[in-house]
A and B are shown apart, each in its own frame.
Chain A
Amino acid sequence: MKHEDEFELEAEDRVWTDAFREAIHAESERPAVFWSAQRAAIRGRITSRGRRSSAWMAFASAAALLLFAVMLLSVGTPIATRVPEKLQVAARVDPDQLLSEVQETIDNPIPDSLAPLDLLAQDMDKDFKANKRLAKQ
């Protein structure tokens, strides 16, 4: 026994443990052809599994590619036909209101931002005309 220091057996126990070991070893003895057939079977199973996994990988890649293409198609179409947001906002403005605003802008020669300056100019013009009238008199 190799490891007697680890587990002690009584001397008479070695008789039956040896007999047991010999029986197991004898039972598992097989001719060389059995072992080579086993190796061939193992090789065959490993190879066929490899082929199966390659086929599975190819199928998975193709499926992923197809899925990607479908996603591109489904997402791409609305982008091409989508109306820009600014145009959508413009489309929501009432055309009559827009027309009246345009008309008002045309009618009013002074922009709203210059209205105070216009008032000042009118006052100055009035003063100037009044002074001129007084001078004539």
Chain B
Amino acid sequence: MDATLNPAGLAAQALSRGLAHDEFDDVVREHQQRIYRVVLSLVRDVELAANLTQDCFVRAYENRASFRGDSSVNTWLTRIAINLVRDNARNRRQGFWRRLLQRPADEDTEQLASQARDSRATPERVLLAREEAAAVWQAVETLSPQQKEIFILRFSEELALEEIAQIVGIKVGTVKAHLSRAVAAVRAQVRGKAK
């Protein structure tokens, strides 16, 4: 085994040769927080995000033989997670009732913004960050599902355009176009709020 491989590389090697339970447990441990974060930011429902994160790893385990190592484990798992989120949105029959029972979006964004923390920040900066995060969330909610996916993968997960293209299943140029439009839309709303 190559001694220069990092843990992600080892996980990819382990996946491509088929995994034992213990080894897969390491893959889950390494990626679960990031997958949960992506799913939660897309579905905005804590319980659903936890369930879909579990589904993602169960599906990954079942399809581990299909992992060829031509993309990173990170990309592969995120693609599974995004597909699950899409399936969920498509199949959700109780969407009306969910929206009816959900708290108002403003309340959610306010709570999210209040959780944003920066230990070095001054109270003014914290307040500013909260307001900005709340405004960005409101703007992001108005984007199309695909633009939202791309926006979150780029600005929350800081993924390269190439990686986003692999995950979402479109060309890099299209990712860039979606991202430009999404940023312009969010920027306009954020600046509009600031004025």
Please give the residue numbers on chain A whose beta carbons come within 8 Å of chain B beta carbons, in ascending order. 1-3, 6-7, 9-10, 13, 15-17, 19-30, 35, 38-39, 41-43, 45-47, 49
Contact B36 A23 (CB under 8 A): no
Contact A20 B50 (CB under 8 A): no
Contact A16 B53 (CB under 8 A): no
The 10 A-B pairs of least Cβ separation, nearest first, read A23-B133, A28-B37, A26-B115, A19-B132, A20-B136, A23-B116, A19-B129, A24-B156, A19-B133, A22-B116
Give Cα A13–Cα B188 distance, bound, in whole angstroms: 11
Give Cα A26–Cα B57 distance, bound, in whole angstroms: 23
Give Cα A38–Cα B116 distance, bound, in whole angstroms: 24
Contact A22 B117 (CB under 8 A): yes
* Stretch of B5-13, B25-33, B72-80, B81-89 on the interface side: B25-33
Interface of A is mostly: helix
Give Cα A16–Cα B29 distance, bound, in whole angstroms: 30
Please give the residue numbers on chain B whose beta carbons come within 8 Å of chain A beta carbons, in ascending order. 21, 24-25, 28-29, 32-33, 36-37, 40-41, 50, 53-54, 57-58, 61-62, 112-113, 115-118, 128-130, 132-133, 135-137, 140, 152, 154-156, 158-161, 176, 179-180, 183, 186-187, 190
Contact A38 B50 (CB under 8 A): yes
Taking A16-B190, A24-B152 as contacts, is the C-beta distance between A1 and B32 under 8 angstroms? no
Give Cα A127–Cα B92 distance, bound, in whole angstroms: 117
Instruction: Count CB-based A-B contacts (< 8 Å).
Output: 113
Give Cα A19–Cα B161 distance, bound, in whole angstroms: 21
Give Cα A21–Cα B57 distance, bound, in whole angstroms: 24
Contact A38 B136 (CB under 8 A): no
Taking A38-B50, A46-B58 as contacts, is the C-beta distance between A20 and B155 under 8 angstroms? yes
Interface of B is mostly: helix
Give Cα A119–Cα B123 distance, bound, in whole angstroms: 140
Residues of B within 8 A of A38 (CB): 28, 32, 36, 50, 53-54
Contact A27 B112 (CB under 8 A): yes
Contact A27 B115 (CB under 8 A): yes
Residue of B nearest to A25 (CB): B37
Most chain B Cβ neighbours within 10 Å, of A2, A42, A47: A42
**Which of A6, A19, A42 contacts B57 (CB under 8 A)?**
A42
Contact B54 A19 (CB under 8 A): no
Residues of B within 8 A of A27 (CB): 40-41, 112, 115
**Which of B158, B161, B176 contacts A1 (CB under 8 A)?**
B158
Residue of A nearest to B39 (CB): A28
Shortest beta-carbon distance from B176 to chain A in Å? 6
